Amino acid sequence: MIKEKVLKKTLYDNKDTMYRLALSILKSEADAEDALQDVFVKCWHQKTEIQITSDIRGYLMRVTRNRCLDMVKKHNRKYEQPGIYEDPMGVDKNAVEISDQVAWIDRFLEQLPELNQTVFHMREVEGISFEEISKTVHTPIANVRTILSRTKKHLRKQFNIINRIDTPNTLKKTEK
Amino acid sequence: MSKTDLHKSSIPENMDFDEFLEQSIQLKQKNTLADDKFELLWNRAKSKQGNIRRMSWIITVSAAVLALMISFLIIKTTHHKQQELELQYQQATAALYKVSYYMNQNIDKLSPIDKMMNTTNYFEPLAKPIDGLEKLERVKRIPLKH
């Protein structure tokens, strides 16, 4: 019984992190909840084997990610976020512009491979250490750093293109 | 200037991007799983696991019963076949005994058979081996191979 309470508390403490990770991969609240349901079932099934240590968050993140990837494979479709096409009626212009820009950033993020999205999410949204991310995505720390850097660079580049902020390369092309 | 710095310089610093990125991250951080939802998922996970365990138990028992039935059927069929073979063997042995008995008892009667064949077509019926059959020694049993 104590084990059950400890497990429930551990899951409760990490529920938001797991939910956000599932949401970032699946882009659907219902699917994210389904994924979490499966993770809970797995944890309940393995409750005698799970050791509540400092690495438990990494374990939960790993299980959640694997479950989400299985769901993506199973459904064989790309999850998309409809946020950018929301109807802006009834919202003030500034808010719409901010919402649009933010939606564009999300859109650019979606264009990247799942690994980039997950690394970006874990580091920027959850503030998880590189070491823990490295264990979760089974990639060396140096590679994780590179992936994060490239992801940010891609987002910035795409954002500049959409906002017509010319880079030196595009300026040269225009001059020619 | 290093290669990385050179690459960085090719992308202009845009303060708006950082602001929007920050907004995007903050929006993502607002996504949370409500407590009642968590309780629901947790309880479902427990009951689902219970159902799975119950189902697996039923399947295991069914499989065991089925395996037992199949084994029983195989044993019964094999045993029946063995009994049938033993009966056949005993009948064949008894028939052999009879032949052997007739031959031992009436071997002397075979000598005038040529004469009898020439003179008459009547053959004296052979004595039935009733008493002698029990006294005969049984031949060694040949082990059955399936």
Inter-chain CB proximity B33 and A16 less than 8 Å = yes
For residue A12, which residues of chain B lie inside 8 Å, CB to CB? 38
Indicate which of A156, A157, A171 best probes the interface with B, i.e. most B CBs within 10 Å of its own CB. Answer: A156
3-class SS letters over chain A: CHHHHHHHHHHHHHHHHHHHHHHHHHCCHHHHHHHHHHHHHHHHHCCCCCCCCCCHHHHHHHHHHHHHHHHHHHHCCCCCCHHHHCCCCCCCHHHHHHHHHHHHHHHHHHHCCHHHHHHHHHHHHCCCCHHHHHHHHCCCHHHHHHHHHHHHHHHHHHHHHHCCCCCHHHHHHHHC
Most confident of A8-12, A51-55, B122-126, B129-133: A8-12
Q: Is pTM beyond 0.90 here? A: no
Q: Is A154 on the interface with B (CB under 8 A)?
A: no
Query: Which pLDDT band holds residue B122 (cuts at 50, 70, 90)?
Result: low
Confidence at residue B107, expressed as pLDDT on a 0 to 100 scale: 64
Inter-chain CB proximity B31 and A23 less than 8 Å = yes
A14 CA to chain B: closest CA distance, Å? Answer: 10
B68 CA to chain A: closest CA distance, Å? Answer: 30
Confidence at residue B62, expressed as pLDDT on a 0 to 100 scale: 93
Confidence at residue A170, expressed as pLDDT on a 0 to 100 scale: 47
A19 CA to chain B: closest CA distance, Å? Answer: 6
Confidence at residue A18, expressed as pLDDT on a 0 to 100 scale: 92
B47 CA to chain A: closest CA distance, Å? Answer: 9
Confidence at residue B61, expressed as pLDDT on a 0 to 100 scale: 92
- Contact status, residue A67 vs residue A30, Cβ threshold 8 Å: no
Q: Is A153 on the interface with B (CB under 8 A)?
A: yes
B74 CA to chain A: closest CA distance, Å? Answer: 38
Indicate which of A165, A170, A171, A172 best probes the interface with B, i.e. most B CBs within 10 Å of its own CB. Answer: A165
Inter-chain CB proximity B16 and A163 less than 8 Å = yes
Tell me the mean pLDDT in the region B40-67.
Answer: 85
For residue A63, the one-letter residue type is V
Q: Is B21 on the interface with A (CB under 8 A)?
A: yes
Measured torsion, CA atoms of residues A148, A154, A157, A160, in degrees rounded to the nearest 10: -90
Pick out chain A residues at pLDDT < 70.
1-2, 52, 54, 76-98, 164-176
Which of the two residues, B139 and A2, has the higher pLDDT score? B139
For residue B31, which residues of chain A lie inside 8 Å, CB to CB? 16, 19-20, 23
Q: What ipTM did this prediction achieve?
A: 0.71
Dihedrals φ, ψ of A30, to 5°?
A: -60, -45
Spell out the domains of chain A, with CATH numbers in brackets: 4-75 (1.10.1740.10), 93-175 (1.10.10.10)
Tell me the mean pLDDT in the region B77-102.
Answer: 84
Cβ–Cβ contacts within 10 Å for residue B27, how many?
A: 16
Confidence at residue A22, expressed as pLDDT on a 0 to 100 scale: 92
Inter-chain CB proximity A101 and B25 less than 8 Å = no
